[in-house]
Chain A
Amino acid sequence: MATTDPKLLEPNSFSVTGALSDGAKRWVLHVQEYSLLSAQSVARLFSPPYYVSDVLDQMDIIGVGSLPIVLLTGFFIGAVMVLQTAAQFERFGQTALTADVVSLALVRELGPSITGLLVAGRNASGMASELGSMIVTEQVDAMRAMGTDPVRKLVTPRVVATVLMLPLLTAMADFLGLIGGYLVSFFTLRLGAVTFWTRAIDILEFSDLMQGLTKPIVFGFIIATVGCYQGLNVKGGTQGVGRATTQAVVTASVIILVSNFFLTKLMLYLAGHLF
Chain B
Amino acid sequence: MSATASSEPVLSLENVSIGFDKGNVLDGLSFSVAPRETKILIGESGSGKTLILKLAAGLIQPDSGTVEMLGHHLGHMTEKDLLAFRRNVGFVFQEGALFDSLTVADNVAYGLREEHVKEEDIEPRVRESLRFVEMEDSLEKFPSELSGGMRRRVSIARALVTQPLVVLYDSPTAGLDPVTSQTIITLILRLRDTQGVTSMLATHRLQDAFGLASYRYDGQSGRVVPVAHNGATRPSGAATTFVVLREGKVYFEGSPPELAETRDAYLRRFLL
Binding site for B on A (CB under 8 A): 133, 137-139, 141-149
Contact = CB atoms under 8 A, between A and B. Distances in A.
Interface stretch (B25-33, B87-95, B181-189, B192-200): B87-95
B87 A146 contact: yes
Contact of A144 (B59, B95, B158): B59
B2 to A, nearest CB: 20
A145 B95 contact: no
B14 to A, nearest CB: 23
Nearest to A152: B83
A54 to B, nearest CB: 11
B114 interface: yes
A137 B87 contact: no
Nearest to B162: A146
A144 B86 contact: yes
A144 B58 CA distance: 9
Interface string B39-75: 0000000000000001001010000000000000000
B50 to A, nearest CB: 10
B99 interface: yes
Contact of B100 (A137, A141, A146, A148): A137
B87 A142 contact: no
B114 A137 contact: no
Given A144-B86, A147-B86, A137 B95 contact: yes
Contacts of A137: 95, 97, 100
Contact of B89 (A141, A145, A148): A145
A138 B84 contact: no
Contact of A141 (B93, B98, B111): B93
A147 B100 contact: no
A142 B79 CA distance: 15
Given A138-B94, A146-B162, A147-B83, 5 more contacts: A137-B100, A145-B57, A146-B111, A147-B114, A149-B79
Contacts of A142: 91, 93, 97-99
B88 to A, nearest CB: 9
Given A146-B86, A147-B83, A141 B110 contact: no
Contacts of A146: 86-87, 91, 110-111, 114, 158, 162
16 contacts: A137-B97, A137-B100, A138-B95, A139-B100, A142-B93, A144-B86, A145-B57, A145-B91, A146-B87, A146-B110, A146-B158, A146-B162, A147-B83, A147-B85, A149-B80, A149-B83
A138 B93 contact: yes
A141 B86 CA distance: 11
Nearest to A145: B91
B99 A145 contact: no
Nearest to B90: A145
A241 to B, nearest CB: 14
Contacts of A144: 59, 83, 86
Contacts of A139: 97-100
Nearest to B110: A146
Interface in B143-188: 158, 162
B270 to A, nearest CB: 26
Nearest to A148: B114
